[in-house]
Structure 1
């Protein structure tokens, strides 16, 4: 009797594993395709042989040198896309808000404002200091939005948090413009960074940011079980032994680190952290132990594809990925709002 019962369970387990592995393999295939396209296509189109040669370090021909020069840009796109996606899915889990996103919640604007203040008034140029300022600005904005969204009856509801985040983001963006507009020299230097893009990537800055990005990802992934408990509601999470406040604080810290480091590297890029988690939930469900790594791969893929699209649409010029992402993300954002009707996750 026991053997007869075990067989269906084994088959069901295998089917479940297959449903998880197949989307992962598909995402990894798309990730590889995004990387290849990013190196091959741009102002100059490069053959796959020259692209592979450039990736392997050969610069014997102009095409191979161009491929080698595009490699750090591709890696930066992967890193920023993964960081923003993981931050987005973590924020959505912490707040149980389907509209949570580093851009909508004002976290990216907070990082941008801190960096702009440091550069304009304190002549900050050290990359490490810029990243510290970005993380501090992200944290301050996140705390402010949550406090404002928690005021009044009902506490921090999804609608109140979204409205508080949108208002904060608009206010911080206005402050950034107020600081930059009278200072033409500073505005010219950081105009492209403010839009958000991965052009001009450098290996040394990537190396400096890598420990922060890895730490942020590990923190968020380590809190995956806690985020699953939070999805059941605070009372149920407490009942199963989860420390709700600690889980929220640690998870938020991981998301803030990822947002700050990504913004310091590429400027504020919106919509990645909003749309990618929802697309991944369609593939693997709501288990954050799977959702976080899947979102990292999908976000990296989406951002690099969007960056490549911006380079080939208007050759020989290019459109920054910070402009391309809203064009892609806005229709999906509208679908999310209509589908969830601003309910809790």
Structure 2
């Protein structure tokens, strides 16, 4: 218990420190005191630029990171698979495709793009789940099917690059996975949908814990396995779809964070879900901050940094997973 409390306090402090550093560091640099006073008074031009350009980026980074991390946690629980991640198994690419398709056809419905993304993510999840099932879910088979589904939806998304300058301009923020030039309208979308998803995820912690048991055991407890899987999967897809539709495709975060979080707070989802949300927010914000400062004034998208980190981690998990090794 003491370790869990220390872990939560530490992650909150680290998140606050990184957020503060990210807010005052960049092409415009100010002190924390100047930033706070400028935000209150509204008379400092430099602080106004930070408020309009940098703060939305920070908030979206944290909420997107939290959403993707919790989505990965839920997917790993519902599939009993340590390799499950929205970016790897194609959910994110499915969300991107339906999001840009809907917004391209109905531009006035941009605020509801996360819901369109949810439809695509749910379709991708269904395809991966159904095509991977063969007397159970093999981690290796799920990865291979997920890569195939991801390739199909990515290819469909790429076709929009040839439909005219307006469409290309409108979808670039999603397909390039950049967190730059975000607006307060996008912050409103992100915080609204992700907050709902995170609350639902926390409420479903008991279902996640039960899904770790054998199906027969869960049924003997009077719980519907299919219903629990459907609810948890729906929330996982919602979180991944919302994050993807606004922040773009960011792979591996949902793979890394659940594994790291279990080392600190254990496998009880009542604690694991909120800790994963904080850790995911910290990791994506840190990746974005490094990406825009390490080679300033040039930027490295956070998605690229996550791929550099996540690729080797995926190989590590594959090599350590006895279940995967047994099927190879």
TM-score range, shorter chain: over 0.9
Note the C-alpha offset of 1:287: 0.9
Query: Take 2:323 and 2:248, find their aligned partners in 1: how far apart are those partners?
Result: 28
Note the C-alpha offset of 1:125: 4.1
Q: What is aligned with 2:88?
A: 104
Query: Take 2:120 and 2:73, find their aligned partners in 1: how far apart are those partners?
Result: 20
Query: Take 1:67 and 1:179, find their aligned partners in 2: how far apart are those partners?
Result: 33
Structure 1 position 312 matched with structure 2 position 293: yes
What is the TM-score when the length of structure 2 is the normalising length? 0.92
Q: What is aligned with 1:246?
A: 227
Q: 1:73 to 1:58 in 2, by over 3 A?
A: farther
Q: What is aligned with 1:65?
A: 48
The equivalent position to 2:74 in structure 1, one of 68, 80, 90, is 90
The equivalent position to 1:276 in structure 2, one of 254, 257, 271, is 257
Structure 1 position 147 matched with structure 2 position 130: yes
Note the C-alpha offset of 1:341: 4.3
Q: What is aligned with 1:24?
A: 8
Query: Take 1:72 and 1:182, find their aligned partners in 2: how far apart are those partners?
Result: 30
If you compute each CA radius of gyration, which structure gives the higher value, 1 or 2? 1
Note the C-alpha offset of 1:205: 2.8
Q: What is aligned with 1:12?
A: none
Q: What is aligned with 1:217?
A: 198
Note the C-alpha offset of 1:184: 4.4
- CA deviation profile, 1:131-157 (whole Å, cap 9, x unmatched): 22111111111111111111x4x2322
Q: What is aligned with 1:14?
A: none
Which stretch of structure 1 is more off in the superposition, 179-188 or 251-260? 179-188
Q: What is aligned with 2:237?
A: 256
Query: Take 2:13 and 2:201, find their aligned partners in 1: how far apart are those partners?
Result: 25
What is the TM-score when the length of structure 1 is the normalising length? 0.88
Query: Take 2:260 and 2:37, find their aligned partners in 1: how far apart are those partners?
Result: 35
Structure 1 position 326 matched with structure 2 position 310: no
Note the C-alpha offset of 1:91: 0.3
Query: Take 1:31 and 1:114, find their aligned partners in 2: how far apart are those partners?
Result: 33
Q: What is aligned with 1:138?
A: 121
Query: Take 1:213 and 1:227, find their aligned partners in 2: how far apart are those partners?
Result: 19
Query: Take 1:309 and 1:98, find their aligned partners in 2: how far apart are those partners?
Result: 28
Secondary structure at the counterpart of residue 95 of structure 2: helix
Gaps of 5+ in 1: 1-16
The equivalent position to 2:147 in structure 1, one of 139, 147, 166, is 166
Gaps of 5+ in 2: none
- CA deviation profile, 1:310-335 (whole Å, cap 9, x unmatched): 11122112222122211222222222
The 8 Å contact of residues 160 and 167 in structure 2, kept in 1 or not, is answered as no
Q: What is aligned with 1:208?
A: 189
Q: What is aligned with 1:46?
A: 30
Q: What is aligned with 1:128?
A: 111
Secondary structure at the counterpart of residue 45 of structure 1: coil
- CA deviation profile, 1:187-210 (whole Å, cap 9, x unmatched): 244224212122222222322343
Aligned Cα root-mean-square deviation (Å): 1.9
Query: Take 1:112 and 1:238, find their aligned partners in 2: how far apart are those partners?
Result: 36
Alignment of 1:227-246 (within 5 A): 227-246=208-227
Q: What is aligned with 1:113?
A: 97
Moved over 6 A (4+): none
Which stretch of structure 1 is more off in the superposition, 58-67 or 282-291? 58-67
- CA deviation profile, 1:3-56 (whole Å, cap 9, x unmatched): xxxxxxxxxxxxxx21110111110011101211210112233322223334x4
Q: What is aligned with 1:11?
A: none
The 8 Å contact of residues 197 and 269 in structure 1, kept in 2 or not, is answered as no
